[in-house]
Structure 1
Amino acid sequence: MRAGYVGDHVFSKIMEKPGEHPTFTLHEGYLYTKNRSGEEVLYIPNSSSDSKSIAGVIIDQPHTMLGHFSTHKTAD
């Protein structure tokens, strides 16, 4: 996932001027941001691995393992 940050349009702008983006922080090579509730969450880069987006893989993995409970429970 860290490799995905390299080509990510948003991440590259944040790294150029980190002082202008106070809602983002970098921990051990991973970029975090604040969600609407003010919680720190992992920023998922806009890139792909094996023709699937990283976000798609993250969403698909638990869905495949656990099944589909509902859109609200999946989002939670």
Structure 2
Amino acid sequence: MWEDTSPEEVIIKWHTNDGKLSIYNIWDEGDGRESQSYSSGMLISEKDGSLVYKCNAYGFDTEFNDLIFSIEKL
């Protein structure tokens, strides 16, 4: 999902056979897909039984608000 083409809020249901889900931070600002650049990353916290992910693409503006999403196990 890309920020410029997705609705502000999206609800997705995933089904796994083993209960595992991999999350990967990747972005494209016009020069091709990028990930794991210097200072990129995700902060993960728990709130009301959900995991909240706050992502930083790259750079020293590290407010970790480039993408924020939560995951709840049902």
Q: Give the TM bin, normalised by the shorter chain.
A: under 0.3
TM-score (normalizing by structure 2): 0.24
- Structure number with larger C-alpha Rg: 1
